[in-house]
Chain A
Amino acid sequence: MKYFRLIWKNVWRKKIRTSLTILSVFVAFLLFSLLSAFSFAFRGGVDVADAERLIVIHKVSLVNLLPMSYLNRIAATDGVASVTHATWFGGYYQEQRNQFGQFPVDPDAYFAMYPEFNISTEQFEAFKRNRTGAVVGQELATRFDWEVGDRIPIQATIWSRTDGERTWEFDLEGIFSTDDPRGSTAIMLFHYDFLEEARAFAKGTVGWYILRVESGADPVQVAKSVDLLFANSPAETKTSTEAAFAQSFTKQFGNIALIVMLILGAVFFTLLLVSGNTMSQSVRERINELAVLKTLGFGDRTVLGIVLSESIVIMLIGGLLGLGLGWILVQGIAKQMAAFLPGIFLSPGAILGAIGLMIGAGVLAGIFPAVKAMRLTIIEALARA
């Protein structure tokens, strides 16, 4: 727009003041990107959950185990396309703080259920052939510097072996990855048969079932049918969509989203004060010039627009810089924390929201001074000079 030069020059009238204001905006939006990326992680993978996968757990709590016999009964239920199982192994690698998910599974069925996992056919076949074999996700391999062929000892905290040992050793046969940056692969998969054979107790049980709904079937209905199957049995079930299941965890942490919003609220409130102050000082200093613009024929609303644009420009400069740095940092932080808190991600939605905020905050910070400028009577303003 042809007024841009004027707007730009006005923005930089007082270089130090503008720079400091821009820096405040920068910090605010840097915080916004970091906090929203964290908040996203706390949604527990809700956004990557497959709408057609359901999770079946023991009704009393996830910690209780389900009988293996349920597998065929679930498979036979109307609307169920396929079903498989997994169990929480709960061990650690070398030190107690190196905890991550290890799941004994049925390899073919599990990978079919989770097509988003990519693994080379070669590695997968090697894994299937080796009873004590295991595959791990790329994030885990990177974190612990594992290579195919390594022997990985896992200390079990729950599952002691029939031979009394607490250490379970696995041969790393493959490394898998996922294409979705929001998904996490910080897990290890091994053979259920191996667990079953070697564990000292709870034989014939699994932690939970995962089933895929037939296309066209209503997930809610299918979930109800499955739970009905096992109602009034010693091990009642609770079936929910993957998204709901993920959410049930994050909800237990507390209302993280609310906390983040409150913090950001405080940050942006302060930001508006700072920018508002800058804008009103800026207008106060230029009453004369604004009157001259009107004298030259610039309309009241044009003057309003010019002042508002200055405010928005300041927000955009600081905000885009903050968002940019935030984005870079999130990549790094996400990698570092992948095993503890997977899914740290600055979503496109958050970015759009941030830009909207920049414009909104620009308007809010500048509106009072801009209206003042708009309402200026030329004669009074010039007489003041």
Chain B
Amino acid sequence: MSGILARLSGVSRIYQKGKEKVEVLHELDLEIPDGDFVAIMGPSGSGKTTLLNLLGGLDKPTAGTVKVGDAELSSMSNSQLSRWRSNHVGFIFQFYNLLPVLTAHRNVELPLLLTNFSAKERAKRASIALDIVGLGDRAKHYPRELSGGQEQRVAIARAIVSDPSLLLCDEPTGDLDRDTADEILKLLQVLNREHGKTIVMVTHDAQAAEYAKRTLHCDKGTLEAKEAA
């Protein structure tokens, strides 16, 4: 089904730093169609992470609206946003952010604790997610026993386990070497092309951006499309 998955209209985000007001995003408009894989590039402080946070309901705009699917994020309460996130969004961070006290399998299962699935059902879904990212045999390992690339894959499995439509990635390959980074990006492509996940990826790595369908540049709070070379 194609259509617009996420829409930002007239979004501004202003932070109060002591007496100063810092405008990180300025009257931004953005449409992300279902099934898109968009990379957002830009210098640090350009607001790209803020953009990601808004899309994921981690932050609210100072002005404008954020709509993802049927949800109007800008008008939802914190607890509503929490619930919405658990069903509709998966996050992937630069530093993986796995819980060190849980095994890979348990880490992946974590989002499912918020659902009504039985223990058996949860275990099954987590295993499936781990298989998709190719780490079925590492299920019982702890994060400290995994390499950087493996940890990121577990993080990805966690991000997709509740079958969200939108995946938000903040510098997913920032801490990985070239070869491992390529593997991760290829995985993201698979998730996008074969599993229909819409992916928004913030990155400063031009080579990473090439895996995406399109690239947008974020500078001083505004977005510009750059034609793919």
Q: Does A216 contact B (CB under 8 A)?
A: no
Pick the contact of B83: A3, A292, A297 (CB < 8 A). A297
Select the residue from A3, A13, A289, A296 with max chain B CB neighbours within 10 A. Answer: A296
Of residues 260 to 309 in A, which have CB atoms within 8 Å of B's CB atoms?
288-289, 292-301
Q: Is the CB of B95 within 8 A of A379?
A: no
Q: Is the CB of A385 within 8 A of B95?
A: yes
Q: Please give the number of chain B residues whose Cβ is less than 8 angstroms from any Cβ of chain A in the complex.
A: 27
Contact pattern, B 81-98, Cβ under 8 Å of A = 1, otherwise 0: 011111100010101010
Q: Please give the number of chain A residues whose Cβ is less than 8 angstroms from any Cβ of chain B in the complex.
A: 24
With contacts A6-B113, A385-B95 taken as known, whether A13 is within 8 angstroms of B83 at the C-beta atoms is: no
For B86, the chain A residues whose CB sits under 8 A away are 296-298
For B83, the chain A residues whose CB sits under 8 A away are 297, 299
Q: Does A187 contact B (CB under 8 A)?
A: no
Pick the contact of A2: B101, B119, B158 (CB < 8 A). B119
Q: Is the CB of B85 within 8 A of A296?
A: yes
* Prevailing SS type, chain B contact patch: helix
Q: What's the least CB distance linking B227 to chain A, in Å? A: 32
Of residues 95 to 133 in B, which have CB atoms within 8 Å of A's CB atoms?
95, 97, 99-102, 106, 110-111, 113-114, 119
Q: Is the CB of B97 within 8 A of A288?
A: yes
The count of A-to-B residue pairs whose CB atoms sit within 8 angstroms is 64
Q: What's the least CB distance linking A234 to chain B, in Å? A: 81
A-B residue pairs, 4 tightest by C-beta: A297-B86, A9-B101, A297-B85, A292-B97
Chain B contacts to A: CB under 8 angstroms: 53, 56, 58-59, 78-79, 82-87, 91, 93, 95, 97, 99-102, 106, 110-111, 113-114, 119, 158
Write 12 A-B pairs (CB below 8 A) sorted by A numbering. Answer: A5-B106, A6-B110, A12-B101, A13-B100, A292-B93, A293-B110, A296-B110, A297-B114, A299-B82, A300-B79, A382-B93, A385-B95
Inter-chain pairs besides A2-B113, A297-B86, A300-B78, 19 sampled, C-beta below 8 Å: A5-B106, A9-B101, A289-B97, A289-B99, A289-B100, A292-B97, A294-B82, A295-B85, A296-B110, A297-B82, A297-B87, A297-B114, A298-B86, A299-B82, A378-B58, A379-B58, A382-B93, A385-B95, A385-B97
